[in-house]
Chains A and B, each alone.
Chain A
Amino acid sequence: MDNPTGLAQLPLKTLLFGIISLVVIGSAAAVTFSRSLVTSAFALLGTLAGAAALYVLLSADFLAATQVIVYIGGILVLFLFAVMLTNRIDDVNVSNASMSLFAAAPIGLIVGWMGLHVALSNAFTILPVRDTNPTAIKIGDALLDTHLLPFEFVSVVLLAAMIGAVVIARREVRPSAGARVAAQPETAAKKPEVQS
């Protein structure tokens, strides 16, 4: 192999995978063990971006872009909004009781042991030649051909989720007192609400 730079002799893919997996695991641990919810939500950014980088290493380019756009651009921003709307930011010790870690550790260790057992079992036949071509065209074909029915179901689910989120999160306005509630929004939240 006549590579003038000699970069191909270095295990760049393995080193990249090591760095990315350290980021993913470290930020997942930060999400779990951080006491502040804001820190957890920002640490989730590391896990999501690291997962997108792992998708690139697995030659899933379209999925990596989808991960960045939908997860980081949509879901994570939604989480940050919810955290900052419902929490007092300077109140650090609101979450993550340290005592319940004794109950959670056996469950987590059992689940982790199961996953590692499958991962280390070598029960899978690895393909000798793996496809590294761009995947957007093939994913589009598969979505509109093999997976057309789930694709249509997902569109219905998204519509239902959109309507449901609007219905659930809207301010509950009683018909008779609509003007009064709109005039005093800070006291309206503390009154006992009429269950509809």
Chain B
Amino acid sequence: MASTFYGIPMEVGLTPYLIVAAIVFMFGVINVSTRRNAIGILLGVELMLNAANINFVAFAHYVAGGVNGQVFAIFVITLAAAEAAIALAIVMAIFNHYQTIEVDDVSTMKE
């Protein structure tokens, strides 16, 4: 089997996956630091968790072998679900109390 097809490699290596994950993580960081809406910040956190998961699975496939990396990714997904449930409950409670979820306006821990 030829290793390239008009210059396109037949197999994808580890590096392209890491590049994709790094770019997604970068967008997550930019999202977290630009958004003022609490739910928007949580969307950025989800982006970063997904980038970390892609790294886990890529390293498990290409470097480590076995399923340990995939088990870590499953734990990350589980904790992301718990985090999303708790954080959105807090967001709903803040919205009921302040009528807004802009984090600049909600700067006090208690009145």
Contact = CB atoms under 8 A, between A and B. Distances in A.
Interface of A: 1, 8-11, 13-15, 17, 21, 24-25, 28-29, 31-32, 37, 40-41, 44, 47-48, 51, 54-55, 57-60, 62-63, 66-67, 70-71, 74-75, 78-79, 81-83, 85-87, 94-97, 100-101, 103-105, 107-109, 111-112, 114-116, 118-120, 122, 124-127, 130-131, 135, 138-139, 142-143, 146-147, 150, 154, 157-158, 161-162, 164-166, 168-169, 171, 189-190, 192-193, 195
Contacts of B13: 126
A73 to B, nearest CB: 10
B91 A82 contact: yes
B86 A139 contact: no
Interface string B36-63: 1101101110110010011001111111
Contacts of A154: 75, 78-79
A53 B79 CA distance: 21
Contact of B82 (A17, A82, A158): A158
B77 A86 contact: no
B59 to A, nearest CB: 8
Given A124-B62, A127-B62, A168-B90, A47 B12 contact: no
Most-contacted residue by chain A among B17, B23, B59, B70 (CB, 10 A): B70
Contacts, number: 262
B39 A82 contact: yes
A162 B86 CA distance: 8
Most-contacted residue by chain A among B19, B65, B88, B101 (CB, 10 A): B88
A67 B82 CA distance: 14
Interface residues of B, number: 83
Interface in B1-50: 1-2, 4-5, 8-31, 33-37, 39-40, 42-44, 46-47, 50
B30 A107 contact: yes
Contact of B46 (A29, A44, A105, A171): A44
Contacts of A138: 66-67
B67 A54 contact: no
Contacts of B33: 100, 103-104, 107-108
Contact of B10 (A14, A82, A86, A95): A14
Given A37-B37, A96-B40, A139-B74, A32 B30 contact: yes
